[in-house]
């Protein structure tokens, strides 16, 4: 308790999922949270529940992020902690992907080779899908760091959400893997730049965690559990506690690192 007492944290994509749980644990540890999401009403709902404040922005849009920081500046003159959590899987509302997930699960249950990659393979990845994925994850992380650093006092902390897909890589998620790997490289470079100010920049690369993002993969959950040495998928708290650690002074000598809570699914960074 009180590990983040008096600290002001901006968390992107925090209306639900991992971001919302990170915000909740931050509040329990004494932080004031500013909840960002695409929809102001969704962000406000979570912020109200946690006693925090809300700002809307599409993190992939530089004008939208600039407007968000205008609002943030009316709320506070500093941000001690930034969590770049906003993200997409790329299969939201994609019925073809749903069908591929179903076929893949059925084939694997029969012990057969899976029929095709979840994104349909590289020839099926459109410019639009590729750009959107990189824009939300990589551009969004960059824009929010650029907006925050001038407001961040020494001894601040930045946490960027990567993924095991950015370290391990996997067919069927080309754009997602590329975006998450890019975030890890960006994290290390920014950690170097900000170390003289004692601002720490780290990444969390979660394994498979139960959230709305992984719900559409439900037919594959049994296989993911089997592939995970700890025999289960993760829960949002498995990530939130890592974020609390990395944001706190307990991690005062930790920078440029990737912490990967994944139940042993991938054991090397
Ligand atoms: N759930 C997992 O298994 C898992 C694994 C590895 C990494 N991650 C990463 O963790 C982060 C959170 O994932 P989650 O599982 O909580 O997902 P989620 O879909 O439950 O929540 C993501 C949130 O981000 C918001 N968002 C999406 N695009 C946005 C944008 N352009 N601007 C602002 N907000 C935006 C959504 O509205 C949503 O509230 C993501 O970066 C994701 O890639 C998740």
User: Residues 161-180: pLDDT tens digits?
Assistant: 999 999 998 877 999 999 99
Structure tokens at 110: 């029969």
Please enumerate in sequence order all residues whose Cβ is within 8 A of that of 63, keeping only pairs 6 or more positions apart, or say none.
none
Closest ligand 1 atom, residue 204 Cα: 7
The strands making up 53-56's β-sheet, listed across from edge to edge, are 53-56, 32-37, 8-11, 81-84, 157-161, 200-204, 258-259
- Among 16, 36, 58, 87, which residue has the most ligand 1 atoms within 8 Å of its CB, making it the best to mutate? 87
Strands 8-11 and 32-37: parallel
Q: How far is the CA of 14 from the centre of ligand 1 (A)?
A: 8
Closest ligand 1 atom, residue 14 Cα: 39
List, in sequence order, every beta strand (DSSP E) within 122-172: 157-161
Residues with CB under 6 A from ligand 1: 12-13, 15-19, 37-38, 58-60, 85-88, 136, 140, 161, 163, 206, 208-209, 211-214
Is the full-model pTM beyond 0.85?
yes
Whether 245 sits among the annotated catalytic residues: the reply is no
Mean local confidence (pLDDT), 56-77: 98
Q: How far is the CA of 86 from the centre of ligand 1 (A)?
A: 5
Q: How far is the CA of 85 from the centre of ligand 1 (A)?
A: 6
Query: Are the C-beta atoms of 257 and 202 separated by less than 8 Å?
Result: yes
| pLDDT tops 80 at residue 269 | no
CA distance 190 to 209: 27
Q: What is the pLDDT of residue 18?
A: 98
Question: Regarding the domain with residue range 8-91+130-259, which homologous superfamily does it belong to in the CATH classification?
Answer: NAD(P)-binding Rossmann-like Domain (3.40.50.720)
Q: Where are the domains of the chain?
A: 8-91+130-259
CA distance 213 to 53: 24
Please enumerate in sequence order all residues whose Cβ is within 8 A of that of 92, keeping only pairs 6 or more positions apart, or say none.
216
| pLDDT tops 90 at residue 61 | yes
Closest ligand 1 atom, residue 206 Cα: 6
Nearest CA owner, ligand 1 atom 1: 209
Q: How far is the CA of 196 from the centre of ligand 1 (A)?
A: 31
Closest ligand 1 atom, residue 16 Cα: 39
- Among 18, 58, 144, which residue has the most ligand 1 atoms within 8 Å of its CB, making it the best to mutate? 18
Q: How far is the CA of 89 from the centre of ligand 1 (A)?
A: 8
User: Residues 205-256: pLDDT tens digits?
Assistant: 999 999 999 999 999 999 999 999 999 999 999 999 999 999 999 999 999 9
Nearest C-alpha neighbor of 31 from the set 83, 73, 87:
83
User: Residues 72-81: pLDDT tens digits?
Assistant: 999 999 999 9
Structure tokens at 141: 């992380």
């Amino acid at each position: 308790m009180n590990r983040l007492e008096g600290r002001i944290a901006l968390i992107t994509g925090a209306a639900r999922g991992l971001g919302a749980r990170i915000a909740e644990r931050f509040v329990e540890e004494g932080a004031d949270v500013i909840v960002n999401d695409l929809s102001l009403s969704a962000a406000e709902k979570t912020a109200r529940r946690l006693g925090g404040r809300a700002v809307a922005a599409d993190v992939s849009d530089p004008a939208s992020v600039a407007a968000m920081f205008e609002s943030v500046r009316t709320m506070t003159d500093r941000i001690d902690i930034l969590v770049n959590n906003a993200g997409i899987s790329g299969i939201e509302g994609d019925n073809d992907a749903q069908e591929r997930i179903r076929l893949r699960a059925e084939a694997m249950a029969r012990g057969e080779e899976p029929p095709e990659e979840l994104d349909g393979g590289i020839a099926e990845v459109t410019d639009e899908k590729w750009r959107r994925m990189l824009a939300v994850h990589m551009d969004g992380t960059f824009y929010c760091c650029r907006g925050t650093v001038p407001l961040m006092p020494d001894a601040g902390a930045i946490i960027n959400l990567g993924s095991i897909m950015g370290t391990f890589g996997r067919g069927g998620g080309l754009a997602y893997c590329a975006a998450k790997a890019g975030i890890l490289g960006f994290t290390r470079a920014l950690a170097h730049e900000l170390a003289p100010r004692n601002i720490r920049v780290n990444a969390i690369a979660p394994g498979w965690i139960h959230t709305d993002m992984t719900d559409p993969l439900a037919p594959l959950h049994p296989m993911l559990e089997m592939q995970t040495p700890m025999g289960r998928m993760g829960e949002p708290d498995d990530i939130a506690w890592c974020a609390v650690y990395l944001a706190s002074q307990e991690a005062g000598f930790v920078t440029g690192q990737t912490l990967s809570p994944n139940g042993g699914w991938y054991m090397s960074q």
